[in-house]
Amino acid sequence: MPAYRPEEIEKKWQAHWKAHNTFQAHNHSEKPKYYVLDMFPYPSGAGLHVGHPLGYIASDIVSRYKRLRGFNVLHPMGFDSFGLPAEQYAIQTGQHPALTTDQNIETYIKQLSSLGFSYDWSREIRTSDASYYKWTQWIFLKLFNSWYNLDTNKAEPLTDLTARFAERGSEGIRAAGDEGDRQVFTAGQWQLFTEHQKLAAVHSYRLAYQQDTYVNWCPGLGTVLSNDEVKDGLSERGGYPVERRLMPQWNLRITAYADRLLAGLDTLDWPDAVKEMQRNWIGKSIGAEVTFPVESSELRTENLEIKVYTTRVDTIYGATFLVLAPEHELVDKITTPGQRAAVDEYIAATKRRSERDRMADTKTVSGVFTGAYALNPVNQEPVQIWLADYVLAGYGTGAVMAVPSGDQRDYVFAQHFGLPIPAISDAQQGLDQQADPTKEGRYINSGIINGLTYKEATTKLIAYLEEKGLGRGKVNFRLRDSIFGRQRYWGEPIPIYYKDGTAYGIAESDLPLVLPEINEYKPTETGEPPLGRAQNWLYRNQYPYELSTMPGWAGSSWYYLRYMDPTNEARFVSEEAEQYWGTVDLYMGGAEHATGHLLYARFWYLFLKDLDLVSSNEPFQKLINQGMILGRSNFVYRLNVSLPITEIKIEGPELAKIYPATFFISKDKVIKYQAGDEAVTKEILVFVQNYIADFNNKELGVKIIDPHGTSISDLHVDVMLVENDVLDINAFRKSRHDYRLAEFITEDDGRYLCGWEIEKMSKSKLNVVNPDVLISKYGADALRLYEMFLGPLEQYKPWNTNGISGVSGFLKKLWRLFHPEDGDLAVTDEPATPAELKVLHRAIQKVQEDIERFSFNTSVSLFMITVNELTALKCHKRAILEPLVLLLSPYAPHLAEELWQELGHEPGSISTAGYPEFREEYLVEDNVTYPLAINGKVREQMQFAATATASEIETAVLASDFLARFGEGKSAKKVIVVPGRMVNVVV
């Protein structure tokens, strides 16, 4: 048998798994089920780098382990294949996004398969397939045709609501949403409504509804962006300006589920940090809604009111001004002519910032006075009305009751603009320096609550406001309804058509509503979304469709259910399959999805639960966030000069370009040069002089520049051109035209040493390591083991390609336990010795414990120790090596399959072979070494049988010469024996 050749073994077994559907899961089994899920990947054109498979490897280890433990394991994979990148590429090139997406998916499948993942590829799904998004549209229609009944605390069909309207009108109906948007009518009036009027009355109750909403509008991309897609007022993709704009948008009423989303977190085995992020994002608060009448001599023709929500109604007497969001609906009405220009300018500036940027910026103080005043409802004192971008239109009422003595942000704002900061409690301190939000003490300067405590004041004020009709107690949430529409092409069409301007859902029998072909993928010249370019795209050849498409998170909010029954054409998932697989037992993915995908998926699941379409309470029972693999960046050091040293014309297949000559200095010489080392400085100067002299001989007329005092830039270099920090100079020159004639001042041994730094792995830092390269060099099993070996799964870990060679060496050493000196299989049937059995069963116990607690790095270490010990014992025995292969198979499946077959088993049968049984008796020691002490001071050691009693040990110690040698002639007063630990002789 030749030496271990992973390239041959791995291709062989990957082909076998594919041909035999080795990992296909069945929806009916006598075995217990276990559902392992990886977060839905988006197939980018760049493919995978070594940071991506970290979670996939961990979930695959668990999947393979659970199969060995006798579980029916569902471990699927698919692709979140709608998205903006493919659409942007389509806009630039004219290539259909479907073609780009399919090409990217094929790359992903090839890479994932090369890593030996035990996916059930028969269940692969793609969100851009019409057979899949038919059901995404179907769920949307269910949302569109449902309302949330606060009395039953669940979603119900709209037909139930309209039946109640017909029976007793709108009276007494408690539904999630803004009551102010809803009509009041009797049953008789309802009966007289036209179809259009009935639909208009129902619309504000729907869980999927259309409303004018402030969004992040990006004219350059022609679409609405989520807060995650905007940074510093620019789109993350392309860097185009983004502004806040009021647009009609489809929304999903996730706020109806806020309390249930909070309560459900307590039942989940998720990282505390993720659960806390969701709690903060939902942001439940208990307070009061207070009405401030607008009072201004220039605005007497209209009675206007500003409602504010506050969790500290007890501080209302300290409210010296109001702050509105720049988008607040009353801004235009209350702004005085004298402040109009300043207000318009401020609003225009605010539109260029996303809500996330505005929330995160706690240092900048900005605002503008509207010129208008409101009356504080408890004391009738006038308070100025200001605009500030730290107040958001979508949170609460879009207005803040500013109490500068009790809130630091209000305090800074008041100081900046010279507004009053009165004390309201006798316990407040240091108001000349900062706000004091204390709830201690008793109130002062506070009218009807003077002398009361916090609880007394809060109760009295809410009762007073409710009695006077000036406010009410209220529970509020930071969570906003989800904006659902995107002005893009490459997404699920929203299954809505319009008749006389009213939205209707298309019939479920007409699903899927398939994306039409269009000639361009950018918005129309009149500003409509790209679907506006579709020719004769009408529902039943008569009614225009909605032109927006769904956001990227729509398809990923329920994909885990489709995996259970991916080819079902009659139902999104059969009842039998859903009830069998139930909730996801292990979900692996990044913490960055805490307040996006994970929240939306829980919301959709709760809605489906209300409709009795799913059987569990939550979609994902256990969640693990794998840490990020950090890249090990490399740097080259360029000598910067103020003028070009020479110019070389490069003729290429494209255009002729002119590049200046470039000098790169090796790392150690850079350090010496920057430290003022004269010898290195002279060397650099002479090198440049000689180089220029050579070109001067060619009459290029190049001037010399003294390198003294010039700076040096550290530039990222592709880490694939570097090995052990040594640059492949020739490959570097070939990597870019402008480096083709680069010159290198190397170390004295001729090597060019690069610098290095640990950073986030990304293409921009050129520190992305392609797994394909490592697999071709070391094998997939080595890469799998190395990624697990880097450290605890949840932690950030630096990548260093150099370390994988050690893991590769370990696998070769393991191979030689079966094939000594890379020869023929030499496994014997001799009985195992106690020492060999001890090594094996310690490994069985530890690996099982490690996988159960997801501590994979410690298992890899143990494998190395185990192989070293068995090599030292010269163990080639089946009784030891066969169970060892089973232990290793979740981590290094290709090598394990090969060795399992060589041991005489059916090819591919290792997955169902059964996990080795741990037997504790093999770990019991025959002898125990005891430290022997005189008066607590250890003098030497003695060995006793593991079964020896305390009295037997005491007798043996006193019978020895131990006391004679160390007791200084004293006799023993007593002997203390700590079983298994030590013996202390007291003299």
Q: How far is CA 761 from CA 236, 718, 758, 770, in A?
A: 18, 12, 9, 11
The number of beta carbons lying within 10 Å of the beta carbon of residue 211 is: 15
Pairing type for strands 471-477 and 482-483 reads unpaired
Question: How far is the C-alpha of 140 from the C-alpha of 484, rounded, in Å?
Answer: 10
Q: Which amino acid is at 962?
A: F
Nearest-angstrom CA–CA distance, 629 and 794: 10
DSSP 144-167: HTEEEETTTTEEEEHHHHHHHHHH
Cα(220)–Cα(240) distance, integer angstroms: 6
90: nearest Cα among 552, 522, 516, 537: 522
| Assigned token pair, 172 | 């007494």
What's the rounded Cα separation, in Å, for the pair 509 and 138?
10
CA 895 to chain CA centroid, nearest Å: 33
Tell me how far apart the alpha carbons of residues 641 and 709 are, in angstroms, rounded to a whole number: 9
Q: Which two tokens stand for residue 752?
A: 């060019």
For the chain, give percent helix, strand, coil, nearest 5.
Answer: 40, 20, 40
Bridge partners (DSSP) of residue 744 are: 664
The closest of 233, 133, 103, 130 to 551, measured between CA atoms, is 133
Q: Are strands 663-665 and 743-745 parallel, antiparallel or unpaired?
A: parallel
Q: Within a 10 A sphere around the Cβ of 541, how many other Cβ atoms? A: 7
Contact predicate 374/294, CB 8 Å: yes
E strand residue ranges, 253-381: 284-295, 305-310, 321-324, 368-375
Nearest alpha-carbon partner for 21 in 134, 119, 162, 133: 119
Q: Residue 704: which residues within 8 A CB-CB, separation 6 or more?
A: 645, 688, 689, 692
Please check whether residue 630 is in contact with residue 762, taking contact to mean a CB–CB distance below 8 angstroms: no
Tell me how far apart the alpha carbons of residues 419 and 558 are, in angstroms, rounded to a whole number. 51
CA dist 458 → 287, 446, 607, 884 (Å)? 9, 12, 36, 68
Please state the φ and ψ torsions of residue 344, each to the nearest 5 degrees.
-60, -40
Q: Are 710 and 663 in contact (CB under 8 A)?
A: no
Cβ-in-10-Å burial (0-12, 13-18, 19+) of 212 comes to exposed
Alpha-carbon distance 620 to 661, whole Å? Answer: 58
Report the C-alpha gap between 685 and 672 in whole angstroms: 14
Decide if 658 contacts 647 (C-beta within 8 A).
yes
From CA 344, how far away is CA 508, in angstroms rounded? 47
- C-alpha distances (whole Å) from 532 to each of 132, 286, 517 are 24, 45, 11
Which candidate, 528, 651, 550, 656, places its Cα nearest to that of 604? 550
Report the DSSP beta bridge partners of residue 930: 942
Number of H-type helices and E-type strands within the chain: 31, 37
Task: Tell me the torsion sign for CA atoms 687, 691, 697, 701.
Answer: negative
Q: Is residue 626 within 8 Å of 797, Cβ to Cβ?
A: no
Phi first, then psi: what are they for 839, rounded to 5°?
-60, -45
Judge whether 134 is annotated as a binding position: no
Nearest to 322 by CA among 375, 269, 278: 375
Which residues are known binding-site members for ATP? 763
Which residues are known binding-site members? 763
